[in-house]
Structure 1
Amino acid sequence: MSRQLGKGAGGGVDSKTYRKLKKKQSRQIRTEINDPALNKDGVLNVNDFLKSRRYEINELEKAQLNSKFSSSSRTFQSLPRKLRRRTASHNVKRIPKRMRNRAIREMANETSGIKKKPLKGKQLYRARTLRNLLKLAARANLMRLVPVDKRLSAGRLRIRQRIKTLNEQLQNSKDSEKFIKINNNIGSYDVSALNQLASPPIGKIKYMKRQRKFTWLSTHVWHSKRSHLVKRWGFQIPLKPTQKSFRLSHRNFNLTGAIIWDKSYINTMIIQSDNIQSIADTLSSLTNGKAIGKRYLQNGGIYDGLIYKNDEIIGTGTTIFFKSSDEETKRLIVRLHPAIYQSVFDHLLSIKTEDVEIIDTRYAIGSIDVGGPIALSTLGTILKPANKSSEESKLFGKLCTENTLPDNTVFTYQAIDPRLANRNKPRPNKSTNIIDTLIDMKVTKANINTKIVDNLLTSQGRTNSYENQLSLKQIAAQKNIQSSNESKDVTSFPVIIYKTNNNIWTVLLPWYWVLPVWHAMNHIAHMNHGGILQSHQLNFEQNKLFFPDDYPFTSAGFVDHLIAAKEKEEKWEKKPIAKKINYDKLKIRNDDYEKGEIGNPFTADWRYLQLLKFGLNQVKSDKNTRTSAWTEKFTRKIEEPHDVYNFIKDVKNTDKESDSRGEKLTIPVQLYDPKKVPGPPSSPDDPLSISPIKIELVSRGFTSDNARIYSIPEPELNKWIKSTNTKRPTGKKQHEYPEVPTSKNLIGFITSGSYNLSRGLNTGVGYIDATYLKKVTSGQKQQKKYCVIRNVGTDFGRLASWESIDI
C-alpha cells in the first residue's frame, strides 16, 4: 500500500501523486485570457495594457522561483555542487555560515533525525586517551616546543606509551635534544639542512603515525575532503578533484577563471657561494651548457627546461639566480620533480667545490601555482604588500592587473597575513604605460628586493616570518576588535612570484604560510583547485610534454610507465572473464606474424619496439623456409621474419626472470640527438633512438594512452587518404578504412592521447623511431606526414597526421 498523506499535505492523495502535482503547479504561469486593455472598438488603453503586462511579469518571476525551489526544499539541497557535503543534511557546520540560521530552523522543525550514538567500551576509552594526547600536544604548543623524538611517530608505540613519553619529555623540557624551540603557538618552524638531506617535518601529533613513509602537504586535510590523493615520491599528492573537472579546468584556465595547485611537493634546493664562477659551473653542469651567460646569472634570471646528470637527460626543472643584499653571496634556487630530486642532490654534493654550499629546503619552502586569466589579479587581491610605499610593491600594484606579462617576469615583496588583509580587487591604472613600466623594470630591477629574497632563502629569515603567527582563534579575535584606535600587529612573510612559459604564476613562500594563503585564494570566485591530472591535461592541450609521463627515455619516466602498467594489469585481472578483453586472441591482421596484441597491452612497450627494430635489421630473407636455428650459446638465430618474433619472446622471458631476481633493467630507448646519424640498435641491449611528435586524427575516432603508431606503406597511402573522403549515396561519409599495417610497420607509441578541448578534436603526443623520422623528413620537408593510430585492444586503425615537436 502507498503511504497516505494528511489533509493538510495533499488532500488524501498518495505521496507520489502529490509530488507530481506539486511539480506541475510549480511550472504553471498564470496569464489573463481576456485582455482588458482592448475595448469593444479595438482601441488600446495604454494604462490597462501596462498593468496587465506587470501582472504577467510578476507571475513569470514567481513561476521561476517556484520551479527553482520545488525540488530543493532544504538549504543543503540548494547549494552549488562545489559547496555540497554528504553530512550537510544533519550537520549545520557543513553549511556556509550565511545560510546556517535557515538550516537550524529547518532542523528544529524536524521530528526525525540522525542521533549520534554515545561511545561505549573500547571506543570511549580510545577517545578519552586520544583527548589526553591532544591536551599534551596543545600544552607543547603553548610552551612553544616541537617534539622531535622519532619514537612518538613509530608504529610500535601505542597511545598510552606515546602519552607517557611525551609527558615525561615535557616535564624535562630543558633537554634541547628532545624539543625544538619555536617562536609561535601553532607549531611552525623551519626544516632545512646544509649539505645533506633534511628530515621530514614532525607534523601534528595526532597524525604522526600516518606520515611515517609519505609526508603530508600543509594543505593535506583540505585536499583530503575535496580530492583524490596518491602516495608517490615520498608525498601524498592531490591527483584530481572529486568533482568532475575536465571541461571546467579548460574553461577556467583559458577563458573565465583560474586553476590553483599546491606544488609544494616540487622540491627546492639552494646552491650558494661567494664565487659566481662556481655557481655558473654548477648551473652549466645541470643544464648541459644551455644556461650560460649574463641572462641566467643576473638577479631574477630564470631557466626552465631539461635537467642533465653526467650529460644525460634525467627530467625537467627550474633555476632562478639571485644575489644577496650585500652582493657577496650568490644563490641559485633549483626546483626539481621529487622523482629526480635526491639523485640530483647527491650528484651535486659529489661534484661541488669547497666554496659551494647546498641547502635542502624541500620542507622549508612551499609553492602555489596559479594559472588562468585572473591568476595575477587574484595574487594581487590576496597577497597585499606590507609596505605599500616600497618600489617593488608599487611596481607589482601597477602590473598585477595585466593578463599578458612576458615569461620569466619576477616579483618579490613582503606580504601580510592574507587572513587579515582586505580583499579589495586591484584596479587598473589607466595613466600607466605598461610597455614603459616593463622596460624600466628590466633596466632598474626595481621588482627585486634582495633583502626580501634573503628573508625567504635563509633559515633565519623564514623563522622570523613565523614569529607570533596567529591561530584561527586569534585571527577571529583580531577581526572582532572594534576600537579603531587600537593598533594591530599584522605578521608578514616574504614571497617570490615568477611566471614560466606555461602561462602559470608560481608563488614561493615559507612552508607553513602555504595553508593560510591557500584558504584565502580558494574563496575567490571562479577559482578551482587542480591536481596532477589537471597539470597533465593543460600541458597536453598545448601539445607540450608532461614529466614524467611523456619522458619514457628517462629513468623516472620509464619507472612511471612500469608502475602504471602494473596497476592496469591488476585492475584487468580482477574483472570477470566475460567483461575483459582477451589480448592473446585479438585478431588484428590475418597475414601478420604477430598474433594477439602487439607487446604489453598495458603500456607503451618500448622494449618490444627496440627488439623489433633490432631483429628486422638482422633478417636476411623475407620467406619462411624452415624452423628456428640456434647458436652455440643457445640463442636464437635471426635469419627469417618469424625468427624476429620468437626472439622477442625469448628476450622478454629472460627480462622477467631478471626482474624477479631484482636485477636492474636498462632503459630500452634514448632521446634522438640531431648531431648523430640515427640507426637501428646494434645489439639487444643497445637503446633505440626516439623522437617526440604530436598527432591529429584526420577524421572521426579517438586516441588513448599507449596507442600504437604505424607507418603506412607507400602503395596503401592513397587508399587511406581516399577512405577519409569516401561518401555514401546519401552524401554522408562512409568511414570504412583499410586493414591496419603489419607489426613490422610499428614505429612508436602514444604516451598521452585524448580529446583536446583547445583543438576541438582528438590529438596525442608520443614518440616514434628516429630512423623512420629522419628517412621521412629528409625527402619531404613541406608535405603533410601521415601515420595510422590503433588503440590497444582494437583491430582497426585511424588515419592521423603528425609533426615533430621540440622537447
Structure 2
Amino acid sequence: MAHGGPSALTPGQLPSKKRKDVPSLPSNGPNKRPKNSHRPDHRAKQRDARTLATQTTGKAFKNGELDLDKFVRAREYEIRALEEGLTRSKKALNRRAFQQVPKDLRRRTASHNVKKVPKRLRERAKKEMAEDNTPTVTANKRKPTRHMRLRLETAKRLRALGAKKKAEKEKAKAESVTVIDPNAPPADKKKPDDAKPAQSSTAVKSRPPKVKKAALASPPVPKAKFRKRQIYKSWLPTHLFHAKRAHMTPPSTPMWRFCIPLSPTAKSYRPTHRASHERGAVAWDMSYMSTIGLQGRLDSILGLLKALGVASEALNGRQGEKWRAGARVLETFVYMRVQPHELIAPVTLVWCVPSADSVSKSVEEEKQKRKLLVRVHPSAFYQLWEEVLRLGKVSKPQVSVEDLRFDIGSIDITGPGATEALLGALWPSPEPPEPASGQAQPDGGEAMQIDSEPNTPTVGQTWTALAGLNNPAMLPRSALLSLDVQDPRLHHPPRTINLPKTDAEQHKLLELIASWPVEVALRPSQVFDRKARLIASAALPSQKAINRRKSLALPGQYPEALAKDPRIPVLLYTSTASAHAGRSRDTSPASSTWTLLAPWKCIQPIWYSIMYYPLSTGQQPRFGGLSQRRQLAFEAGVPMFPVDFPGTKAGWEWEMQERRRREEEWRRKPKGKRVSWEKVELGGGKKGEMGVGWACDWERLLAGSPAPEAAVEKGQDAAENAEQANAAQGSKKDNGEDTAAKQLKSAPLRPTELTQLPAAQARALLEASDTALPPPRNLVTTLTTVRLALLTRGVSQACARIYRLPSAISNVKLRKQWLALLPTYKPRKQLTQGPKQSLPRLPKDAPPHVVQERLAQSLLELPKAGEDEYPACPVEEDLIGFVTTGNFNLEQGQGTGIGNVLIERVMEEARRDWEGEGRVVVVRNAGDRVGRLARWTVV
C-alpha cells in the first residue's frame, strides 16, 4: 500500500475530485438533456471541499492480530486528509476584501485599486493582492499620454506665471501710499531727518454696502477653481457631497438655474420606500427652494396676502391666530391678483414673533412692524416675485420686499428616524445670560419681556426632550421651533443619542407633546435678521481650528462649549404630505417631514452631521434626489409641484420639458422597436393614437376632436416627417441646427384659457348642489388634480389617457360592458386593499352541480384584457384628462396614478352619484389598446 496514495482506499471508495465530469448529451439534439440526468449542482465545489477521505481499519487486522505499520500509515493518511480538508474548506468559504463591501457599494467587477476599497479593508486587500500576484493600479506608475503631458506642462507654466503676478501685486501694495494717523502729534521740525511719521495700525475701513431691497439676489462667489463651472448655474451648499454619490443634472442643462441631484447612483427605489415608512430616514438638500422676505406693518402685509388669494380665516380669523403669532406655519396657495386669478404655486408662510420694541411700546397690533418669510418653488419664483413686488409698492404704507434665495438654505428629512437624526446633529447652544432691562440687543431692539412660568422649559430643552419621537405628525400640526444650535463640527462624528426605554419616559414624552410649552414663551428668531445670519456664517471657525479643539479635549469626549462659539440660528417646522392638497379624507399622517431653515453657509456642516449619524436601528440616514421626492409624493397619493399642476405656468414648462425628453427617447429607438402611433388599435375599429403619444396633449383636449381630414394629417407621425425632411435636404444644416432640433426647440405655447383649481375649491364645487352659486371662472378649461386607484389589474404610466364612462344615451351597450367589470363588493379600505372579482359565497351544503355552475360562471363571466370580448375604449369625446405620474405603488400594493381632469366634464356625473359610478373612469396607457377601470378622488 503506497503512502497516502489512491491504493490506500478501499474498493468501494473513490478519490475526491475538484470538478465533476460534464454529463454527456444525447445525439438527438445539441441542447437537450436526457430525462434521467440531473441539473448541474453549483455547490459541488463547496461540498467537495468539506468531504474528507478516510480508510477503514479492516486491513490492519489479520487473523485477530494488529499490523502496527498499516494502522499507523492509515491514520497518517487520514490526518493529512483532515489538514488538507481544513485548508480547502477555508479557501472555499473565503471572501475577498472587495466582497466585504456592502451590496449597495459593490461594483459589477472587482476593483484592483485598493484605494477604492474602504479604509478598514485596504491592508487586507493589499495582502491578498500580493499573495495572488494581482496587478495593481498605482497612480505614480501610470505614464501620461502626450495630450496629458501637454496639459501638465501648461498648468505648470500657468502656476509659475500666477505666482509671479501675485508677487508683483504684493510688492506694489507694500510700496503704496501710507495712511497717516490724523490723531498723531505734529512732527517736530527739530527731529532728525530719519524720523518717520506716525502711521495708523489699522487700514482705512470703508462703509459696509447698503442692502438693496426689491432687487434680485446674486449667488455667492464660488472659489476660483470652481468658478468656471458655475457661470450659468449655481451649486447647492452640499454639491460636493452629492456629485460623488448621485446622478446630477447635466452641466449644459441645469434645472431651475441650479445643479440638482436627481437620484443616488446606488439602487434606491425600494430602500427609499423602506427608509421612509418602516425604519430609517431620507434627507434632501432643499436649498434651491426660493425665499422672499417681507417687512412692514402688519395690516399692509395682511393686505398683500389677501390680494394673493390667501384664505381670510387665516388672515383675520381665529383659525390663524397661532400662525400670526409665529407659533405655526401656513401652507397654502397663492394666485394672481388680476382676473382670472391664475394659480401661481403652493407657498409656505412663516411669521416672525413680534419684536420687543412693539410689545413694550404697546403699539396697536395692526401697526406693529412684522417680518414674514415666503417660501416657493424655484420654477414659480419669478412669477411670484413680480406679483409681490407690484403689490408691495402699492401697499399703504409700503412693504419692503427682499430676495433671500442665497441667504437661507433648507434641509428636508422624513422617516421614523428623522427626529433622532436631527437631535444627534443639532445641539442647542447654552442660553445666554438675560440682559438687563432696556439693554440693547444685536438687532438694535430692546430685550423682549416674556411672561412665562418659572418652570417652563426653554425651546432647547423642549427640543432635546423629543428623543423617541418616531412620527412628527404627533406634534401639533405645522408646529414651529426656533432655536440656536452649536457648530455641528464640534460633535462630529455624531453618536447615537439615548432614547426613552421605560414606560415612564414614554409617558413623559406624550405629556410634553400634549402640553407643547413652546407656545408659552415665544422669542424672535435670528433667521429673520440679516445681521445675525451674516455673523453666524462669518464666525464659523476653520476646520483646522475645530480639529485643534478636538485634540485638546479628553479622550472620548467632545470639546466643551465656549461663550465665543458661533450660534447658528435655525427654524424647524413639520409638514404633512397632504398639506397643500387640503388634507384628503383618506390620507394618513404617516408621511410627515421635518423642514430645517438655516443660513446658507451653515447648511453644509449640518448636512454632514445628519448623513453620518448612526441611527439606533443600525443604519444611517439616506439622501435622496428629485426622483425620490416624486416617488414618496406618489406613494402618499398627493400631487407634486410643478409635475402634477399643468394648469400653472411652471407646470406647463415642466410638461414641455418632459415632452422633449420623451420624444428624444422615442427617436433614439430604431423603427422596429418604437411605437407606431398611427397604427395603435383602440378597439371597435378605431385606429391611431389620440393626440401626440409622448405628451399629455392638453391642446388636443381643449380644442376637441379635429375634422377627419385634419385628423389624418395630424395623426401622421411627426418624427417620420422630420426624418423625411432631413433626408430630402441631404443632412444639410441651417445655422448649425437641423430640422429635428428646431422642432424640439419650438415648443407650443401654453393655452391662455388653461387654469388650475386647487383641491379644496374643486371638492366644494363637486359636492355642491345645482342651486349653488355660479363658479367664478370658466370651468370648461379648468383642471383639477385627482388620485387614481385602479380597480383591476394593470399599472398606469405617465401620459395615460383618462376617459369617462360612455354616456347612457349615446352608447348604452359599451357603458354596461364597462360597468360589468366593476367589483361586486366595495372593500373597506379602498386604497390599502386591492379589490377582487368575487361572487356571493355559496353555502357549505350546496349541491355539486351548483358548485360546478358557480365555477364555470367565475371562469367565463368576465372577459380578460386583450380578448375580443373585452370592452373597447370610449371615444375621444369622452376624453377628460391625462395621467401625469403613474406607477406601481409600493405602499398601496397596486397600481395608482396622479392625473388631471377637466372639472366640467366630470361635474355632472359626480354630483349625481358621488360615491358610485360618478367617480369611475377608464385609464389607457399611450400606445396601448387595453383600458383599465379606476376610481378618482380629488387631492
TM range (shorter): 0.7 to 0.9
Contact 2:353–2:523 (CA under 8 A) maintained in structure 1: no
- Residues 1:371 and 2:414 are matched in the alignment: yes
Match for residue 449 of structure 1? Answer: 523
Mapping for residues 316-327 of structure 1, pairs under 5 Å: 316-323=346-353, 325-327=355-357
Structure 1 residue matching 2:552: 3-state secondary structure: coil
Contact 2:283–2:622 (CA under 8 A) maintained in structure 1: yes
Change (3 A) 1:131 1:191: farther
Change (3 A) 1:644 1:83: closer
The CA deviation at 1:591 is: 4.1
* Distance in 2 of aligned mates of 1:693 and 1:301: 28
Match for residue 282 of structure 2? Answer: 259
Structure 1 residue matching 2:661: 3-state secondary structure: helix
Match for residue 788 of structure 2? Answer: 695
The AA in structure 1 aligned to 2:629 is S
Contact 1:233–1:339 (CA under 8 A) maintained in structure 2: yes
Mapping for residues 608-623 of structure 1, pairs under 5 Å: 608-612=700-704
* Distance in 2 of aligned mates of 1:457 and 1:717: 59
* Distance in 1 of aligned mates of 2:639 and 2:299: 33
Which of 247, 255, 265 aligns to 2:270? It is 247
Change (3 A) 1:510 1:191: farther
With the length of structure 2 as denominator, give the TM-score of the two structures.
Answer: 0.66
The CA deviation at 1:73 is: 2.8
Change (3 A) 1:400 1:506: farther
Mapping for residues 426-465 of structure 1, pairs under 5 Å: 426-428=498-500, 430=504, 433-434=508-509, 436-438=511-513, 440-441=515-516, 444-446=519-521, 448-450=522-524, 453-454=525-526, 456-465=527-536
* Distance in 2 of aligned mates of 1:467 and 1:690: 48
> 1:239-281: per-residue Cα shift (whole Å, max 9, x none)?
11122222211111111111111111111121122x1112222
Change (3 A) 1:205 1:583: same
* Distance in 2 of aligned mates of 1:554 and 1:235: 21
* Distance in 2 of aligned mates of 1:680 and 1:243: 47
Contact 1:612–1:648 (CA under 8 A) maintained in structure 2: no
Change (3 A) 1:108 1:519: farther
Change (3 A) 1:279 1:788: same
> 1:713-737: per-residue Cα shift (whole Å, max 9, x none)?
2322332243464998496675242
Match for residue 498 of structure 1? Answer: 573
- Residues 1:783 and 2:916 are matched in the alignment: yes
Contact 1:258–1:372 (CA under 8 A) maintained in structure 2: yes
The CA deviation at 1:309 is: 2.5
> 1:138-170: per-residue Cα shift (whole Å, max 9, x none)?
xxxxxxxxxxxxxxxxxxxxxx7x888877777
Structure 1 residue matching 2:371: 3-state secondary structure: strand
Structure 2 residue runs without a partner (length 5+): 1-14, 23-40, 55-84, 176-207, 359-368, 433-456, 578-591, 614-618, 722-739, 766-771, 823-836, 839-853
Match for residue 416 of structure 1? Answer: 486
Match for residue 674 of structure 2? Answer: 580
* Distance in 2 of aligned mates of 1:662 and 1:131: 47
Change (3 A) 1:648 1:251: same
Mapping for residues 587-598 of structure 1, pairs under 5 Å: 587-592=681-686, 595-598=687-690
Contact 2:46–2:93 (CA under 8 A) maintained in structure 1: no
Contact 1:88–1:95 (CA under 8 A) maintained in structure 2: no
The AA in structure 2 aligned to 1:323 is V
Which of 227, 247, 264 aligns to 1:208? It is 227
* Distance in 2 of aligned mates of 1:366 and 1:439: 31
Match for residue 215 of structure 2? Answer: 196
Structure 1 residue matching 2:516: 3-state secondary structure: helix
Structure 1 residue matching 2:681: 3-state secondary structure: coil
Match for residue 712 of structure 1? Answer: 805
Mapping for residues 711-730 of structure 1, pairs under 5 Å: 711-713=804-806, 714=808, 715=812, 716-723=814-821, 725=837, 729=856
Which of 767, 770, 791 aligns to 2:900? It is 767
The CA deviation at 1:363 is: 1.2
The CA deviation at 1:440 is: 4.4
Tell me whether 511-520 or 382-391 shows the greater mean CA deviation: 382-391
Contact 2:292–2:402 (CA under 8 A) maintained in structure 1: yes
Which of 302, 306, 309 aligns to 2:336? It is 309
The CA deviation at 1:416 is: 1.6
Structure 2 residue matching 1:573: 3-state secondary structure: helix
Change (3 A) 1:29 1:282: farther
Match for residue 346 of structure 1? Answer: 386
Mapping for residues 496-575 of structure 1, pairs under 5 Å: 496-502=571-577, 503-524=592-613, 525-575=619-669
Match for residue 300 of structure 2? Answer: 278
Match for residue 112 of structure 1? Answer: 135
* Distance in 2 of aligned mates of 1:746 and 1:510: 49
Which of 516, 522, 540 aligns to 1:469? It is 540
* Distance in 2 of aligned mates of 1:190 and 1:534: 41
Contact 2:295–2:399 (CA under 8 A) maintained in structure 1: yes
Change (3 A) 1:659 1:124: closer
Contact 1:87–1:94 (CA under 8 A) maintained in structure 2: no
Contact 2:112–2:134 (CA under 8 A) maintained in structure 1: no
Structure 2 residue matching 1:203: 3-state secondary structure: coil
Percent identity over paired residues: 28
Match for residue 625 of structure 1? Answer: none
* Distance in 1 of aligned mates of 2:157 and 2:547: 26
* Distance in 2 of aligned mates of 1:777 and 1:735: 28
Which of 386, 398, 407 aligns to 2:429? It is 386
* Distance in 1 of aligned mates of 2:90 and 2:234: 45
* Distance in 2 of aligned mates of 1:424 and 1:690: 48
Tell me whether 349-358 or 474-483 shows the greater mean CA deviation: 474-483
Structure 1 residue runs without a partner (length 5+): 1-9, 33-62, 137-159, 176-188, 616-640
Mapping for residues 56-135 of structure 1, pairs under 5 Å: 73-84=95-106, 89-109=111-131, 110-116=133-139, 117-119=142-144, 123-124=148-149, 126-127=151-152
* Distance in 2 of aligned mates of 1:201 and 1:377: 32
Contact 1:377–1:401 (CA under 8 A) maintained in structure 2: yes
The AA in structure 2 aligned to 1:666 is P
The CA deviation at 1:27 is: 8.5
The AA in structure 1 aligned to 2:646 is P
The AA in structure 2 aligned to 1:312 is E
Aligned pair count reads 688
With the length of structure 1 as denominator, give the TM-score of the two structures.
Answer: 0.76
Which of 600, 605, 614 aligns to 2:697? It is 605
Q: What root-mean-square deviation, in Å, do the aligned CA atoms of Structure 1 and Structure 2 show?
A: 4.3
Change (3 A) 1:211 1:132: farther
Which of 316, 319, 323 aligns to 1:296? It is 323
Change (3 A) 1:662 1:580: closer
* Distance in 2 of aligned mates of 1:94 and 1:676: 68
The CA deviation at 1:216 is: 1.0
* Distance in 1 of aligned mates of 2:685 and 2:553: 85
The AA in structure 1 aligned to 2:291 is T
Contact 1:266–1:338 (CA under 8 A) maintained in structure 2: yes
* Distance in 1 of aligned mates of 2:657 and 2:878: 27
Contact 2:643–2:651 (CA under 8 A) maintained in structure 1: yes
Contact 1:191–1:361 (CA under 8 A) maintained in structure 2: no
The CA deviation at 1:126 is: 3.5
* Distance in 1 of aligned mates of 2:627 and 2:678: 31
- Between structure 1 and structure 2, the one with the greater Rg is 2
Change (3 A) 1:171 1:534: farther
Contact 2:336–2:342 (CA under 8 A) maintained in structure 1: yes
Contact 1:678–1:689 (CA under 8 A) maintained in structure 2: no
